[in-house]
Amino acid sequence: MNNTVLPPLRDLEPEVQQEIDECVERWSDQEGNLIMILHEIQNHHGYVPREASLLLAEKTGVPLARIYEVLTFYHYFRLVPQGKHQITVCNGTACYLKGSARLLSELENRLEIKEGETTDDRLFHLETVRCIGCCGMAPAVVVDGTTVGKVATTDIAGIIEKIHIQEETNE
């Protein structure tokens, strides 16, 4: 069972409603349009807001339960906003044998979130994957698309601190 806590409902802004109307119109006569519409919504927002799903159900006549079947079946779709920075821990065999579980635990403790969650300030999102194909670099994590190999638990604080410093210098 998925224990994802959804953000509270909010009113959709008129431009978002218009965007969904245009998207539904654009895909109205295409086979498999529900997935394509959901892709467009997620590409725009970074996730599929519940409000958008409700409006999509109303506009297309597709039951909301069917929309959520699709959203929860495909791993690609996200129901909650993601953090600005993605940290992914590889759980492949080599990484697991060389301590990826300890890395994940250290990240969860330092970020005060569990795997699959985003920090309250939406700065970090933490997830795991089965394998990133960098077994020679085990244990490895991916930070914002960059693979970091042979990571020790003592490196985790530095990885997080580097991102905080980047954020401060960008302000």
Alpha helices (H) in 13-88, listed in sequence order: 14-27, 33-45, 50-60, 64-73
Written as six digits, the tokens of 112 are 């005060």
Model pTM score: 0.69
Q: Dump pLDDT digits (tens) for 109-163.
A: 999 999 999 999 999 999 999 999 999 999 999 999 999 999 999 999 999 999 9
Report which DSSP code applies to 81. P
Residue whose structure tokens are 């349009």 = 33
Q: Dump pLDDT digits (tens) for 79-93.
A: 988 899 999 999 999
